[in-house]
Amino acid sequence: MKIGLCSDHRGFYLKSELVKFLKDKGYEVKDFGTDSDESVDFPDFAFKLGDAIVNGDVAMGIAICGTGIGMSIALNKVRGVVCGKISNASEAMLCRAHNNANCIAMSEDISYDNAKEMVMKFINTPFSNMPKYVRRNKKISDRENG
C-alpha cells in the first residue's frame, strides 16, 4: 500500500518521523512536502496530497500542521477526499470504520508514540460497510457531487 504524507512547517518534524516509521514497516511512502521548518502555506501541500489520493497515486493520506484543522479543511475541499481531523487512536479507527476516510489530519503537538498508534489504527481499520454508515456517507457524497 502506498501512503502519502504532507505537512506545513510546523508539522515537518513529526511528518519526517512518520515517513521513516512507515518505510520501516514496509509501506511505500510518498512525501508531498514541505521539506523544512521554514514557513509555508499549508493548502499548497494539502492540495498535492488530496490530488494524489483522488488520482489513485496513493491509497491513503496523512497530513500534519499546527493543529490539524487547517489541513483537514483544505483536504476536504478536494472532491473525493474524506479527511478526518483526529486526536487519538479511537478517532483514527472510527473515521475509517464509520466514515470511510481516506485521509487523516493531526496536530504536530501529538507525541510521536501516539502519532504512530493513530496512523496504524487508521491504516489497519477497514470500513465497516454497515448499511447505516453506507447510507450516511452517501448523503454526504451526494451533497458534495450534487
The residues annotated with a catalytic role in the active site are 65, 98
Helices (H) and strands (E) in the chain, counts: 6, 5
Four-point Cα dihedral 36, 44, 3, 97, nearest 10 = 120
- 48: its cell numbers: 498535492
R_g (Cα) of the chain, nearest Å: 14
In the chain, DSSP assigns E strands to 2-7, 28-31, 60-65, 83-85, 103-107
